[in-house]
Each structure stands twice: as structure tokens, then as C-alpha cells.
């Protein structure tokens, strides 16, 4: 059996929604110091729907594939549904990841949540802090100075 599924390889070789979004409504950045993967997710929101999403990921093929799949999954979703995106759903949509690469799907989930949290914060939208309690998105980033 191959280490990576055809879907993982496809999303790694042909990632969807790659790039920086200049006019993003929310930006989430998460990283895993252990493996060195860093994901930055950008969302555009209209009427509580994620109308556009982009990402930049520095990391391994599984991290890139997880980012790409997550963007495909949340595009067009209401924010409330995007917040429910789980790493398990990303992994299943990719037809699986090796056990030692499952953290990549966790980062994708956290990047989505971090972007939504940033959107809420920027727009003064009240939310239950418990929604983000187990997310690595609790710390703030200075997005203006980063490229």
C-alpha cells in the first residue's frame, strides 16, 4: 500500500486556493514547532458565509494537502459550519494520512478556527471563548508586518 493516498498526492501536487488574500476578513496562522509546519489561512466573509478562502503553508506534503482540502471543504460554508470542521473530516476527505502525519490535519482545523476567531475579533462579534479554548489560535499575530 502506498504511504499517501491519490487524493493527498493530488492536493500536494495541485493545491487549491493557494496564495495571499490582500483584503481578507480573517487571517489565522498556526504552527507546530515540533515539525516546523506553518499554516496561514485567509477567509473572506459575506452574510456569514465564507465566500473565498486562501492559504499559504510552509511544510511537508501532508500539511499542504491538508490545507488545500480544508479550504475546499469550507468554501461556501456558513461560519458556524466551518468552525465544526474537524481534523478527522479533513483526513477522511483525503482518504487518510499516515499516523505520523495526522498532526497536519489538526493544523488545518486550527488554521480555519484561527481565521474565524480573527474575523470575529476584527468585527467585534461576540463568541464563546470556549470555542477556541483548545485551539492554538489564542495568541495574536501582527499580520500587517508579515508576508
Cα gap 147→132, rounded to integer Å: 25
| Percentage of the chain modeled with pLDDT above 90 | 79
pLDDT of residue 137: 61
Marked catalytic residue, from 60, 104, 135, 137: 104
Please, what is the average pLDDT of the chain? 90
Count of all residues that appear for the chain in the document:
147
Span 4-13, average pLDDT? 96
The SS3 call for residue 84 is: coil
Span 18-22, average pLDDT? 97
Residue 108: its H or E element = helix 102-122
pLDDT of residue 136: 62
Cα gap 131→147, rounded to integer Å: 28
Nearest C-alpha neighbor of 119 from the set 104, 107, 131: 131
Block residue for cell numbers 486562501? 54
Per-residue pLDDT reduced to its tens digit, 46-97: 999 999 999 999 999 999 999 999 999 999 999 999 999 999 999 999 999 9
Cα gap 42→71, rounded to integer Å: 9
pLDDT of residue 145 exceeding 70: no
Span 34-42, average pLDDT? 89
Which cell numbers in the block locate residue 79? 461560519
Domains of the chain and CATH, by start: 6-124 (3.90.1010.10)
The SS3 call for residue 39 is: strand
Active-site annotation holds for 137: no
CA atoms within 13 A on the CB side of 35: 20
Burial of 104 (0-12, 13-18, 19+ CB in 10 A): buried
- What string of DSSP letters covers 47-77? TTEEEEEEEEEES-HHHHHHHHHHHHHHTT-
Active-site annotation holds for 104: yes
Please answer whether residues 74 and 49 qualify as being in contact, where contact means their C-beta atoms are separated by less than 8 angstroms.
Answer: no
pLDDT of residue 131 exceeding 70: yes
pLDDT of residue 144: 40
pLDDT band at 138 (very low <50, low <70, confident <90, very high): very low
pLDDT of residue 139 exceeding 90: no
Amino acid at each position: 500500500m502506498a504511504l499517501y493516498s491519490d487524493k493527498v498526492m493530488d492536493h500536494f501536487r495541485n493545491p487549491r486556493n493557494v496564495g495571499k488574500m490582500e483584503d481578507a476578513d480573517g487571517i489565522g496562522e498556526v504552527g507546530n514547532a515540533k515539525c516546523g509546519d506553518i499554516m496561514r489561512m485567509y477567509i473572506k466573509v459575506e452574510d456569514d458565509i465564507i465566500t473565498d478562502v486562501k492559504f499559504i503553508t510552509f511544510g511537508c506534503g501532508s500539511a499542504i494537502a491538508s490545507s488545500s482540502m480544508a479550504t475546499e471543504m469550507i468554501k461556501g460554508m456558513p461560519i458556524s459550519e466551518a468552525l465544526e470542521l474537524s481534523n478527522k473530516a479533513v483526513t477522511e476527505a483525503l482518504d487518510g494520512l499516515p499516523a505520523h502525519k495526522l498532526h497536519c490535519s489538526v493544523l488545518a482545523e486550527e488554521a480555519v478556527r484561527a481565521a474565524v476567531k480573527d474575523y470575529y475579533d476584527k468585527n467585534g462579534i461576540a463568541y464563546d471563548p470556549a470555542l477556541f479554548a483548545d485551539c492554538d489560535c489564542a495568541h495574536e499575530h501582527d499580520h500587517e508586518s508579515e508576508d
